[in-house]
Amino acid sequence: MKYRINPWRFAFWIAVVSILYLGVKSTPNTQLFSGADKFYHWLAFTVLTVTAHYAYPRLPLPLLCLTIIAGSAGIELLQTLSPDRTTSLADLTVNIVGVLSGLAITQLLSGDQDHPRGHTKPSRRKKRHKRRRHSHTERHVHSADDAHEPSEGHESAPALVVRPH
């Protein structure tokens, strides 16, 4: 049996491991420019959300976003265990903005704004056999058994009977 690796799942798990490592290691990351820390948070959670969306397309978006945000909060709380790291509400806020940015990117890339995940699902309606279509009215010709007798001077004409569907 040949096993096929899903590249989106591989990228997702690489992102998860990288974020976990960088988030809980004892020394802070190198800052290449002023405010780089917030940029790193935003970029990491944007990438994580995009890869999660494509790695697990059947996962409902609210659950996907809430899980990533909960993981982000967990990493921030784990930083309290390290003497060199601190928990930051600003970092958590930027992480949430990253999740929302990733969500926006996935919606733009999907191209289908009508469906929330961008995937068109086949209709669940059962196929109907082609039926002979009848109009909503049917012609009914009076017979001798009918109680209605035409009045004098009027010919017996077919009556229209409306039947609901």
Instruction: Tell me the pLDDT tens digit for each residue of 103-156.
Output: 999 999 887 554 444 454 544 555 555 555 555 555 555 555 555 555 555 555
Token pair 């996907």 in the structure block, residue = 64
pTM over 0.75, yes/no: no
How high is the pLDDT of residue 116? 47
Residue 91 to residues 18, 88, 98, 102, 130, Cα–Cα distance (Å): 17, 5, 10, 16, 60
**Per residue in 16-45, pLDDT tens?**
999 999 888 877 777 888 888 899 999 999
pLDDT at 62 over 70: yes
How high is the pLDDT of residue 153? 55
The residue among 25, 99, 32, 94 whose CA lies nearest residue 62 is: 99
53 CB burial (10 A radius; 0-12, 13-18, 19+): buried
